[in-house]
Amino acid sequence: MENPVIILGAQSVGTAALDAFLSNDVVVYCLLDDDQKLQGTELLDVPVMGNTDDGELLKLLGKKCEVYVATDDVASRRSLTQMLRTEYEAVPVNAIHARASVSVHATLGHGNYVGPNAVVAATATLGDGCLVGPNAVVEARANVGDYAQLGSGALLGTEVQVGVQAFVGAGAVVVAGVKIGDKARVGAGSVVVADVPAGQTVFGNPAVKV
């Protein structure tokens, strides 16, 4: 990546994304965060300079800077991404840790995070704004919808479908072919052997509705 990156968000997702960029020797120009307590501080020696809608800094996007949206709240990530597209014609870049393994034959949208030691296999697909935690595995022909999140060590088997804004907790296993509906939640450590309807929360081994 030739241009430096501005990261929108300086909390947990921002820290992870910053680490991913630094692992690839990508220059991060600054972070922006709406929490005034963070403004004027540094994160891993990179300054937190202002709000996420700072027009003076965001006007650098395009020819001079790239952008990554790293706010912890899904709704905020979506709205900021839309704002960047409409007002600045900017599309968030992907933050892929140097120790992640992402196949050149996988398909990735924009603004995704893939953590250290995570694996995205050939023919797997990530939408936009997905968070794939450290050591998570997305196997062949699995499909992860926009703004979905996979916790550390989560495993998606072959042809698993994860819906938009769904959450799969740390260490959870979703066996081959299972469908996780939009905004559904899978508890940490669960083993999912049957489809999960949209909006439902499941937990356990085998995972059941809670």
Q: Is the bond into 197 cis (omega within 30 degrees of 0)? A: no
> Which pLDDT value is given to residue 2?
85
Work out the percent of the chain whose per-residue pLDDT is above 70.
100
Tokens of 50: 């202002």
**Tens digit of each residue's pLDDT (9 = 90 or more) over 79-129:** 999 999 999 999 999 999 999 999 999 999 999 999 999 999 999 999 999
Provide mean pLDDT across the span 12-36: 97
> Which pLDDT value is given to residue 34?
95
Contacts of residue 145, defined as CB under 8 A and 6 or more positions apart, other chains included, come to 127, 130, 161, 162, 163, 164, 165, 166, 182
Q: What is the radius of gyration, based on Cα positions, of the chain? A: 17
Q: Is the pLDDT of residue 1 over 80?
A: no
Among candidates 169, 138, 165, 164, which has minimal Cα distance to 152? 169
Provide mean pLDDT across the span 56-60: 93
| Domains of the chain in sequence order | 5-93 (3.40.50.720), 96-209 (2.160.10.10)
